[in-house]
Structure 1
Amino acid sequence: MNPDWPQAFAHHRYQALRAGPSLIVTGAVHGNEICGAIAIRRVIAELERGALALCAGRLTLVPVANPLAYRLGQRGGDRNLNRNLAPVAAPRDFEDHVANWLCPLLAEHEALLDLHSFRSPGQPFVFLGPADNDGALEPFGHAAREEALARLLGVARAVDGWLSTYALGVERRRRNPLGDPRQRELNGDARYGVGTTEYMRSRGGWALTLECGRHDDPDAPEVAYRAIVNTLAHLGMIAAPAPEPGPMELLSLYEVVDKTDDADRFARGWASFDAVAGGETIGWRADGEPVLAPEDGHIVFPNPDAPAGQEWFYLAKPSARLGR
């Protein structure tokens, strides 16, 4: 085991006298996304001094899920923890050790709120899982629970379609492998799209990923904190009224576009959820070939610094799912 790695993991658990839901809240799954860690530590401090009181159920708080990446101030330590998340018999990198600790912890709970931030400018939003289905990719039966909570988190936009869209990217990466040997191995694994929320659903639970704003947005920790408190109130775990649900726009991811060369470049400085028109030039490949939007929609998670073989941007289009 690498002596330079952090040698321990930490979580904080609170058990009320009265039975109730079991909720886990995670921060810093990506080490440069610190808003969740700040908000969770604020909740811990308020629980310790009595400003918040757990009145039902079990609450587990994980301020820093990936301590190596957090210490380094970067997205991952040895790799992206929020991909191919599952216990492994023979750990190869630090994130494998995280998974062997974190996955059993997730499986002990009914619900997960995972707090993240993003690189490019944009407004906070929440990632939903799939609609109820019995398909092979991500069978699920708790969509109503996720949708009800999503409306109370304090954001006005939801996005779904993550795993199905990611699976399309996996198939392309298998046909055109790029990157170092370890990255090529991960890119070709159909499970590589599975992160915290997908793992939680695979164990019978339900989960939301809240993207609280840009990494350096000073308001992001407050967005994260308010979401935790609203979740606890909604689940009846603290004695506080839940906010009224508000209107919410839903977009569905339908396409992921990878960089094929480090010199691929955007046509302009895109922000998440910028509108794109069908046929509009999003960027250019290194050889000058334009990358065009296939139809009207929105760009999501544009990353000009993505390495070759990794996600450059996603495309999304409006969905009527939450309007039914």
Structure 2
Amino acid sequence: MTTPHPTHLRIHQLAGLKPGPKLLVTGAVHGNETAGVAGIERVLKQFDAGELTLLCGTLTMIPIVNPLAHRLQRREGERNLNRNLRPAPIPQDFEDRIANQLCPWLAHADVLLDLHSFNNPGPAFAMMGPRDNDSDLEPFRHEKAEAALAACVGTGRIVEGWLSTYALGLQRRAARQGDGSRQASLVQDPHYGVGTTEYMRSQGGYCITLECGQHVDPQGPEVAYKAILRTLTLLGMIAPGAVELADPNRPIEVLQLYEVIDREHADDQFAREWASFDEVSEGQLIGTRHDGKPVHAPSGGRIVFPNNKAQPGQEWFYLARPSDRKLKP
């Protein structure tokens, strides 16, 4: 039986009567990542009940960005919405149609809080963008504001370096022969590393991805809910006191992604069951290719987003190491 495609996005907006920041909060960009959905719905109920008051600015919330994937209870509808995100003049799939609605909202906002979760066990963490730079890859001018946003949501770990690391992986993909399918052409597209936050930065805003924990972690919705309120407090859009603020003096581990390894064959196997941020040492065996070739860690650090269900040609795992980035001036 074919699942009927949703025909609309549900978008909620509160427009303050005083000027201020334009904040966009998104959930379920990947359909099976539901912590953000629950967190957004809880905040909406509090505004409706008068328990929260918007002091200024504009708050826009999209609890379910990919309703087809959400209806199917899986990561993707017809493809990964959070890759190759840009307006599509001639839409080829459901995610292209979503992108045509989502991208204008991203472009209009000043700040984005994008709520996600992940497959393996592990604590919540935030992902932020590059430092201020004039490069062709991801020019940026909001390093301090984005670092403050990443620090305010309360996680003990923050990761940087997504797009630069992804670009290295795309160079290797470009050297491999695809099968001529749309999926193969997408994963080899130089734009494929661009998702919600990367598109947001390209339009002049700043943002973070908050990974609220494992998909089924019962604390995930609470992490999302508190992050929304802490972001609103940081931006001066609600009065302090709605939520306990994160301890500004807590230790925060900052990691730099430096490598992404694709799964090349369905029979590529991990050497053990990995969880995000498990430590790896230089030369440690991470997995084995289908032909028996070992895959070793090139240096010490952490493994991130290990995915034993990755499709051939897509990301199998990432590697990260300590960053020298300072969150405070």
Q: Deviations over 1:19-62 (max 9, x none)?
A: 11110000000000000001101111110001111111100010
Q: Deviations over 1:111-151 (max 9, x none)?
A: 00000000011111000100000000000000100101111
Q: Deviations over 1:228-277 (max 9, x none)?
A: 00000010000115544233111000000011110101111100000000
SS at match of 1:191: coil
Alignment of 1:142-153 (within 5 A): 142-153=142-153
Cα distance in 2, alignment partners of residues 78 and 243 from structure 1: 38
Alignment of 1:179-258 (within 5 A): 181-241=181-241, 242-245=245-248, 246-258=250-262
1:299 to 303, 310, 320: 303
Alignment-mate amino acid for residue 259 of structure 2:
E
Alignment of 1:164-175 (within 5 A): 164-175=164-175
User: Percent of counterpart pairs with the same letter?
Assistant: 55
Alignment-mate amino acid for residue 52 of structure 1:
L
Cα distance in 2, alignment partners of residues 177 and 42 from structure 1: 47
The answer on whether the counterparts of 1:179 and 1:309 sit within 8 Å (CA) in structure 2 is no
The list of structure 1 runs, each at least 4 consecutive aligned residues, that deviate by more than 2 angstroms after superposition, is 177-180, 241-244
The answer on whether the counterparts of 1:271 and 1:301 sit within 8 Å (CA) in structure 2 is yes
1:55 is matched with which residue?
55
Alignment-mate amino acid for residue 292 of structure 2:
G
Alignment of 1:73-112 (within 5 A): 73-112=73-112
SS at match of 1:273: coil
Q: CA RMSD in A?
A: 1.3
1:317 to 314, 321, 324: 321
Cα distance in 2, alignment partners of residues 18 and 247 from structure 1: 36
What residue ranges of structure 2 are gaps of 5+ in the alignment?
Answer: none
Cα distance in 2, alignment partners of residues 57 and 256 from structure 1: 38
Cα distance in 1, alignment partners of residues 303 and 85 from structure 2: 26
Alignment-mate amino acid for residue 287 of structure 2:
G
The answer on whether the counterparts of 1:14 and 1:58 sit within 8 Å (CA) in structure 2 is yes
Structure 2 residue 42 is matched with structure 1 residue 34: no
What residue ranges of structure 1 are gaps of 5+ in the alignment?
Answer: none
Alignment-mate amino acid for residue 310 of structure 2:
A
Alignment of 1:115-194 (within 5 A): 115-178=115-178, 181-194=181-194
Which stretch of structure 1 is more off in the superposition, 132-141 or 14-23?
14-23
Q: What displacement does 1:90 show?
A: 0.3
Alignment-mate amino acid for residue 294 of structure 2:
P
2:9 is matched with which residue?
9
Cα distance in 1, alignment partners of residues 208 and 140 from structure 2: 13
Alignment-mate amino acid for residue 51 of structure 1:
E
1:266 is matched with which residue?
270
Instruction: Work out the number of aligned pairs and report it.
Output: 323
Alignment-mate amino acid for residue 291 of structure 2:
D
Tell me: CA distance 1:3–1:70, structure 2 relative to 1, closer, same or farther (3 Å): closer
- Provide TM-score, normalisation by structure 2: 0.96
SS at match of 2:136: coil
The answer on whether the counterparts of 2:178 and 2:185 sit within 8 Å (CA) in structure 1 is no
